[in-house]
Homo-oligomer: A and B are copies of this chain.
Amino acid sequence: MRLAELSERSSISTATIKYYLRERLLPPGRRITATQSEYDEDHLRRLRLVRALIQVGRVPVSTAREVVAAVEDDSRDQLSRLGTAVRALPHGPEPDEPGPSTDVARRTAGELLERVGWRFNLELADQSRAFRTLVAAIVALHRLGYACDTAHLLPYARMAAELAVVDLNLVEEYETPAEQVEAAVALAVPYEPALLSLHRPAEAEEANKRFGTGR
């Protein structure tokens, strides 16, 4: 398809698509004349990813380029491509400074991973942004005076593990490794707010069962 059709089908203006091409967020089309190129379904898919990253994830262009490079890099194994792509995405806050409260939180996080059996995360520990974000969340709860020990967090960690099975099933529905990496990024960016939006209705339902008419 030509640029105009790519723009129409993606609902992204031709100016924005040209910008993405210049920034190497989108691979060049197949040149057919001096001024025209031909684009295909892969371009359409990639545009969807780039838009999710930039518009929803609000990641800087340089970060989006890293994610796209990881999606494309078929010289590496699938786990490392997935890891690079997801690590480049925006994360929650990290613990600000080492100190006694960070040490306690790190121990709680470590114990939690141990009990839920997440050995891959345990091995990475402080090298992993996801782990550091978890430590920061525990520090924040402690500072606010809320109980946040391993026993409190364990049912949530078990639930997160079940959720991850659903996520990865969705990822594995895609055929090519590149599409799978794209799907994993999509789960981390536009899907997370959608999943979070199910939390409150679910709580309302359960509260009605326990405190309301229970219908």
Contact = CB atoms under 8 A, between A and B. Distances in A.
A145 interface: yes
Nearest to A169: B155
Nearest to A86: B200
Given A144-B51, A215-B119, A163 B202 contact: yes
A186 interface: yes
Given A82-B211, A215-B119, A196 B192 contact: yes
A215 B159 contact: no
Given A170-B152, A206-B164, A92 B196 contact: yes
Interface string A86-99: 10000110000000
A203 B190 contact: no
Interface in A3-50: 10-11, 48
A197 interface: yes
A77 B159 CA distance: 31
Contact of A83 (B190, B193, B204): B204
A167 interface: yes
A113 B205 CA distance: 10
B134 A198 contact: yes
Given A48-B145, A131-B201, A156-B198, A212 B120 contact: yes
B204 A120 contact: yes
Among A77, A133, A205, residue most surrounded by chain B Cβ atoms (within 10 Å): A205
Contact of A198 (B56, B144, B157): B157
Interface of A: 10-11, 48, 51-52, 55-56, 77-79, 82-83, 86, 91-92, 113, 118-121, 124, 128, 130-131, 133-134, 136-138, 140-141, 143-146, 148, 152-153, 155-157, 159-168, 170, 172, 184, 186-188, 190-212, 215
14 contacts: A83-B204, A91-B200, A92-B196, A113-B201, A120-B204, A128-B204, A130-B200, A137-B193, A141-B194, A159-B166, A160-B198, A162-B162, A167-B203, A192-B196
